[in-house]
Structure 1
Amino acid sequence: MEFLLLVLRTISSLALAGVVFYIFHAYITSWLKSQRLRRKLRMQGIKGPPPSFLYGNVPEMQQIQLKARKARSQTEIVAHDYTSTIFPFFDHWRKEYGVIYTYSTGLRQHLYVNDLEVVKEMNQLNTLHLGKAPYMTKALKSMLGNGIIRANGHFWAHQRNIIAPQFFMDKVKGMVGLMVESTEPLLKKWEAMIEAKGGFPAEINVDRDLRSVSADVIARACLGSSYDKGKEIFSKLRTIQTTITKQGFLFGLNNSRFLPNKKKISTLEREVELLIWETVKGRQQERLDTSSCRKDLMQLILEGAVNEATVGEASPQQFIVDNCKNIYFAGYETTAVTASWCLMLLALHPEWQARIQAEVAQVCKNGLPDADSISRLKTVTMVIQETMRLYPAAAFVSREALQETRIGNIMVPKGVCIWTVIPTLHRDPDIWGPDANEFKPERFINGVSKACKSPQGYIPFGLGTRLCLGKNFAMVELKVLLSLIVSRFTFSLSPSYRHSPSFRMLVEPEHGVYIHLQKI
Structure 2
Amino acid sequence: MDIPSNLLHNCSINSERQNITVLSVMSPIGVALMVLSFVVLWLIGKLAICVWWRPLMLERELRRQGINGPPPLLLLGNYVEIIRLENIQRSIDMDAFRHDIFQRMLPFYTKWCKTYGRRFVFWEACEPRIAVTEPELIREVFSSKLALAFGKSSLHQRCCENLLGKGVAMANGESWAHQRRTIAPAFHADKLKGLAGIMMKCTEQTILRWETSLQQAEAVGKDEVEVEICHDFGVLTADIIACTEFGSSYDKGKRIFDLLTSLQELTLTFAHFVWLPGSRFLPTSWNRETWRLKREMEKLLKEIIEERRDLLKMGKIESYGDDLLGLMLTESEGGSALGDSNHDISGIHSKRDKGHAAIRRPCFTTQQIMDECKTFFFAGHETTAGLLTWCILLLAAYPEWQEKARQEVLEVVGDIRHHENGGRKQFTELADALPKMRTLGMIINETLRLYPPAIVITKYALEDVRIGGDLKVPRGASVWVPVLAMHMDSELWGTDAHLFRPERFQHGVARACKHPLAFMPFAHGPRNCVGQAFAVMEAKIALSIILPRYSFSISPAYRHAPITLLTLKPKHGAQVLLQRIRRQKEAPSPS
TM-score scaled by length of structure 2: 0.81
Please point out which of 272, 278, 296 is paired with 2:323: 296
Structure 2 distance, partners of 1:85, 1:254, is 30
In the alignment, what sits opposite 1:382? 442
Provide the residue aligned with 1:393 in structure 2. 453
How many angstroms apart in 2 are the aligned matches of 1:467 and 1:315? 22
Identify which range, 73-82 or 206-215, moves more after superposition.
73-82
CA distance in 2, matches of 1:59, 1:10: 43
Alignment of 1:67-146 (within 5 A): 67-69=88-90, 72-127=91-146, 128-146=148-166
Show the counterpart of 2:391: 342
- Other structure's SS at 1:126 match: helix
Contact 2:245/2:323, CA 8 A, preserved across alignment: yes
Identity percentage over the alignment? 35
CA distance in 1, matches of 2:73, 2:380: 40
**Aligned twin of 2:174:** 154
The CA deviation at 1:18 is: 6.7
Q: 73, 78, 103: which one pairs with 1:57? A: 78
8 Å CA contact 1:501–1:507 kept in 2: the answer is yes
SS in 1 for 2:180: helix
Q: Report deviation, 1:249.
A: 4.6
Q: 2:285 aligns with which of 231, 241, 260?
A: 260
Q: Secondary structure at the match of 1:400?
A: strand
1:239 equivalent in alignment to 2:254: no
Distance 1:245 1:53, change over 3 A: closer
The alignment status of 1:38 with 2:87, answered yes or no, reads no
Counterpart in 2 of 1:223? 246
Deviation string for 1:403-441 (max 9, x for gaps)?
111221311111112211211111011111111111111
Does structure 2 conserve the Cα–Cα contact (< 8 Å) formed by 1:139 and 1:249? Answer: no
Give CA-to-partner distance per residue, 1:444-474, whole Å, 9 cap, x none: 1111011111111100001222011111111
Contact 2:415 2:548 (C-alpha < 8 Å) held by counterparts:
no
Structure 1 residue 75: Cα displacement: 4.6
1:449 counterpart residue number? 510
SS at match of 2:247: coil
2:68 to 36, 39, 47: 47
Report the AA paired with residue 371 of structure 2.
D
By how many angstroms is 1:205 displaced? 0.5
Q: 2:332 maps to what in 1?
A: 305
Checking the alignment, whether the CA contact within 8 Å between 2:151 and 2:172 is kept in structure 1 is yes
Match of 2:421 in 1: none
**Alignment deviations for residues 25-73 of structure 1 (CA, whole Å, 9 cap, x no partner):** 433333122121122222222221122344432333344334435xx42
* 1:263 partner amino acid: R
Contact 1:130–1:401 (CA under 8 A) maintained in structure 2: yes
| Equivalent of 1:270 in 277, 295, 299 | 295
Task: Report the AA paired with residue 176 of structure 1.
Answer: A
C-alpha distance 465-485 of structure 1, shift in aligned 2 (>3 A) = same
The alignment status of 1:214 with 2:237, answered yes or no, reads yes
Paired with 1:210 and 1:391, the residues of 2 have a C-alpha distance of: 16
RMSD: 2.9
Report the counterpart of residue 189 of structure 1 in structure 2. Answer: 209
CA distance in 2, matches of 1:166, 1:125: 21
| SS in structure 1 of the partner of residue 396 of structure 2 | helix
**Partner residue of 1:482?**
543
For 2:490 and 2:61, the matched residues in 1 are separated by 31
Q: Is residue 437 from structure 1 mapped to residue 486 from structure 2 by the alignment?
A: no
Encode CA deviations 1:283-341: one digit per residue, 9 max, x unaligned. 233343433444222210101122369766x9721122111111111122211111111
Q: Distance in 2 between matches of 1:11 and 1:97?
A: 54
- 2: CA distance, partners of 1:226 / 1:349: 40
Secondary structure of the residue that 1:516 maps to in structure 2? Answer: strand
Does structure 2 conserve the Cα–Cα contact (< 8 Å) formed by 1:48 and 1:93? yes
408 and 249 in structure 1: CA distance in 2 versus 1, 3 angstrom threshold: farther
* One-letter amino acid of the structure 1 residue matched with residue 229 of structure 2: V
49-58 or 108-117: which moved more?
A: 49-58
Match of 1:332 among 370, 381, 386: 381
- Check 1:23–1:498 CA distance in 2 against 1; reply closer, same or farther (3 A cut): same
Rounded to whole Å, the distance in 2 between the matches of 1:249 and 1:105 is 11
Contact 1:356 1:487 in 2 (8 A): no
* CA distance in structure 2 between the aligned counterparts of 1:100 and 1:274, rounded to whole angstroms: 46
Q: Select between 442-451 and 208-217 the one with higher mean Cα deviation.
A: 208-217
Structure 2: 5+ residue runs without aligned partners?
A: 1-21, 337-359, 418-428, 582-591
SS at match of 1:52: coil
CA contact (8 A) 2:75 2:276 kept: no
- Specify the SS of the correspondent of 1:59: helix
In structure 2, the CA distance between the partners of 1:499 and 1:255, relative to structure 1 (3 Å rule), is: farther
Distance 1:52 1:150 in 2: 27
- The AA in structure 1 aligned to 2:564 is F
Q: Tell me the distance in 2 between the aligned counterparts of 1:506 and 1:395.
A: 8
AA aligned opposite 1:402: L
Once the two structures are superposed, residues 150-169 of structure 1 have per-residue CA deviations (whole angstroms, 9 ceiling, x without a partner) of: 11111111111111111112
| Correspondence for 1:371 among 426, 431, 442 | 431
Residue 421 (structure 1) aligned to one of 472, 482, 491: 482
Q: Does 1:352 align with 2:401?
A: yes
Q: CA deviation at 1:134?
A: 2.0
Counterpart Cα distance in 2 of 1:366 and 1:25: 68
Q: Secondary structure at the match of 2:169?
A: coil
One-letter amino acid matched to 1:307: G
| 401 and 250 in structure 1: CA distance in 2 versus 1, 3 angstrom threshold | farther
- Relative distance call for 1:75 and 1:413 in structure 2 (3 A) is closer
CA contact (8 A) 2:561 2:570 kept: yes
Match of 1:280 in 2: 305
* Conserved? CA contact 1:68–1:85, under 8 Å: yes
Q: How big is the shift at 1:264?
A: 0.5
Q: Number of matched residues?
A: 515
Which amino acid in the other structure matches residue 482 of structure 1? Answer: L
Q: Provide the C-alpha distance between the structure 1 equivalents of 2:450 and 2:394, rounded to a whole number of angstroms.
A: 10
Q: What is the SS of the residue equivalent to 1:448? A: coil
Deviation of 1:273 (Å) = 0.6
Shift of 1:140: 1.1
Distance across 1 between alignment mates of 2:92 and 2:370: 43
Alpha carbons of structure 1 residues 449 and 330: separation in structure 2 relative to 1, 3 Å: same
Q: State the alpha-carbon separation in 1 of the partners of residues 237 and 550 from structure 2.
A: 19
Give the alignment of 1:448-467 within 5 angstroms: 448-467=509-528
The one-letter code matched in structure 1 to 2:399 is: P
The residue type paired with residue 372 of structure 2 is N
State the distance in 2 between where 1:463 and 1:490 align.
35
8 Å CA contact 2:452, 2:484 repeated in 1:
yes
CA gap 1:155/1:75 in 2 versus in 1, 3 angstroms: closer
Going from structure 1 to structure 2, the CA distance change for 1:224 and 1:401 (only over 3 Å counts) comes to: same
Provide the rounded CA distance (Å) in 2 between the counterparts of 1:225 and 1:348: 39
Q: Distance in 2 between matches of 1:250 and 1:376?
A: 48
On the 8 A contact 2:461/2:473 being kept in 1, the answer is: yes
Does the C-alpha gap of structure 1 residues 81 and 256 become closer, same or farther in structure 2, counting only changes over 3 Å?
Answer: farther
Q: Partner letter of residue 290 of structure 1?
A: K
Q: Which protein has the bigger helix share?
A: 1
Amino acid at match of 1:73: I
> Which protein is bigger by CA-based radius of gyration?
2
Counterpart Cα distance in 1 of 2:558 and 2:368: 42
* Residue aligning to 1:509: 570
TM-score scaled by structure 1? 0.91
> Does the 8 Å contact 1:306/1:316 carry over to 2?
no
- Give SS of 1:215's match: helix
